[in-house]
């Protein structure tokens, strides 16, 4: 492709969007597409900047003002495509692209409507979707957006490591933002209810507004924000107890690392996990059901656990390696029927 892709984002922590951006850069680079990241503002998100440096991903910062964004877009030539991620970058990016005659692509990652100001921002993000070519990471999200194409998340897949399911205790992990929609409170309740079990241990990775609600429990270890590659060797099972989701990158990452997934039936997850085949899919995702799933895993043999993880890995390679997703991106980036003023 004879174009330059600018991944525009306003990022203050490492989450699903940030992980997606890293994987998207890998996919584009693998296909010889020029790509870099543009931050609306430097929020001191040093863990993410360090990760970008480690991956040799070029990035730059604006001053956190609409005028600095417009000025920067005017510096780009006509072969530059702006690809926004997140509601703030989406809103500002589309308006600025309209003013500067730039081609704008937007990926919608979140399925939660939010409350208060967040609700208003999400509504504005949806209203302005007519100004861009749109992708959504799940069917559920795509139905709320004008002319959105499903673009499932993807991941650079390597051969899985050898995982020892003979070890005890079974290590259960929560990986994500500590916010209501991700339901860390369900994870806390689960850990508290299983304090007397010597067969399980709980590990919590992430940060967010609910950090101060973490209980002090002997079987619950809080690791905070952690390098993604340093997470997976510390857990055997990823527990997704979210109330709302799109298609979480943590789900794909865990499968790529040969981990077993237990998940609530939210977003695109039911289209991925086949219960008792490549993971455990709950009906509601409350603490009691989480505990029932863990107890069911505990009585399975190591070979049964390994077979479940292997089935997930095989499915991942077939569906989420990025091959099909790149074809959709290529078509959008090079489309001649671009938005006109």
218 in the same domain as 90: no
Examine residue 161 and state whether it is found in any structural domain, yes or no: no
Q: For residue 83, give the 3-state DSSP assignment.
A: strand
201 in the same domain as 92: no
- Cα dihedral 125, 107, 148, 244 in deg (nearest 10): -70
Cβ atoms 179, 208 nearer than 8 A: yes
Give the CATH number for residue 137: 3.40.50.2000
145 in the same domain as 19: yes
With a cut of 50, say whether residue 341 has pLDDT above it. no
Chain segment 2-30, per-residue pLDDT in tens: 899 999 999 998 888 999 999 999 999 99
Looking at residue 15, its pLDDT comes to 86
Q: For residue 318, give the 3-state DSSP assignment.
A: helix
Cα separation, 35 vs 284, in Å, equals 40
82 in the same domain as 219: no
Cβ atoms 274, 331 nearer than 8 A: no
The neighbour count for residue 279, using CB atoms within 10 Å, is 27
At residue 337 the predicted structure's pLDDT band, cuts being 50, 70 and 90, is: very low
120 in the same domain as 46: yes
> E strands within the chain?
4-9, 34-39, 59-61, 80-85, 103-108, 133-136, 148-150, 170-175, 200-205, 220-224, 237-240, 260-263, 280-281
56 in the same domain as 37: yes
Instruction: Kindly report whether the global pTM for this prediction surpasses the value 0.75.
Output: yes
Cα separation, 196 vs 198, in Å, equals 6
Chain segment 56-95, per-residue pLDDT in tens: 999 999 999 999 999 999 999 999 999 999 999 999 999 9
Domain ranges, residue 13: 4-154+322-334
188 in the same domain as 97: no
Chain segment 168-226, per-residue pLDDT in tens: 899 999 999 999 999 999 999 999 999 999 999 999 999 999 999 999 999 999 999 88
Q: Which residues pair with 260 in a beta bridge?
A: 237
With a cut of 60, say whether residue 166 has pLDDT above it. yes
Cα separation, 292 vs 307, in Å, equals 20
Strands ordered across the beta sheet of 103-108: 59-61, 34-39, 4-9, 80-85, 103-108, 133-136, 148-150
188 in the same domain as 285: yes
Chain segment 305-322, per-residue pLDDT in tens: 999 999 999 999 999 999
Q: For residue 80, give the 3-state DSSP assignment.
A: strand
Measure Cα distances from 96 to 66, 101, 148, 183, 211 in Å: 8, 8, 20, 35, 35
Cβ atoms 142, 149 nearer than 8 A: yes
Q: Which of 81-90, 124-133, 249-258, 328-337 has the lowest mean pLDDT?
A: 328-337
192 in the same domain as 97: no
Cα separation, 88 vs 245, in Å, equals 19
141 in the same domain as 124: yes
Q: What is the residue-wise DSSP string for 199-265?
A: SEEEEEE--STTGGG----TTEEEEES--GGGTGGG-SEEEE--SS-SS-HHHHHHHHTT-EEEE-S
Q: How is residue 340 written in tokens?
A: 């006109």
With a cut of 60, say whether residue 251 has pLDDT above it. yes
Tracing tokens 């074809």 back to the chain, one arrives at 327
74 in the same domain as 53: yes
Work out the average pLDDT over 225-250: 92
Cβ atoms 202, 220 nearer than 8 A: yes
């Amino acid at each position: 492709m004879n174009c330059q892709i600018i991944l525009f984002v306003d990022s203050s922590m490492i989450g699903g969007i940030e992980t997606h951006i890293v994987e998207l850069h890998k996919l584009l680079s693998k296909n010889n597409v020029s790509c870099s990241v543009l931050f609306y503002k430097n929020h001191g998100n040093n863990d993410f900047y360090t990760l970008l440096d480690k991956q040799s991903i070029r990035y730059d910062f604006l001053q956190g003002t609409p005028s600095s964004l417009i000025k920067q877009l005017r510096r780009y030539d006509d072969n530059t495509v702006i690809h926004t991620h997140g509601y703030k970058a989406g809103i500002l990016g589309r308006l600025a692209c309209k003013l500067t005659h730039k081609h704008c692509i937007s990926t919608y990652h979140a399925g939660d409507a939010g409350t208060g100001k967040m609700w208003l921002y999400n509504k504005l993000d949806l209203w302005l979707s007519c100004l861009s070519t749109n992708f959504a990471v799940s069917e559920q999200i795509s139905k709320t957006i004008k002319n959105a194409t499903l673009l499932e998340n993807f991941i650079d897949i390597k051969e899985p490591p050898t995982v020892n399911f003979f070890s005890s205790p079974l290590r259960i992990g929560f990986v994500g933002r500590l916010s209501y929609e991700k339901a860390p409170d369900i994870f806390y309740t689960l850990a508290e209810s299983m304090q007397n079990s010597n067969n399980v241990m709980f590990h919590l990775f992430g940060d967010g507004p609910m950090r101060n609600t973490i209980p002090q429990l002997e079987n619950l270890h809080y690791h905070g924000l952690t390098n993604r590659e340093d997470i997976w060797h510390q857990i055997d099972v990823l527990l997704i107890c979210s109330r709302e989701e799109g298609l979480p990158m943590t789900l794909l990452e865990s499968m790529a690392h040969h981990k077993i997934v237990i998940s609530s039936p939210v977003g695109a997850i039911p289209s991925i996990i086949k219960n008792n085949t490549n993971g455990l899919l709950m009906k509601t995702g409350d603490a009691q059901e989480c505990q029932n799933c863990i107890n069911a895993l505990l009585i399975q043999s190591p070979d049964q656990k390994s077979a479940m993880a292997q089935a997930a890995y095989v499915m991942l390679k077939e569906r989420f390696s990025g091959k099909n997703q790149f074809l959709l991106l290529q078509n959008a980036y090079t489309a001649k029927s671009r938005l006109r003023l």
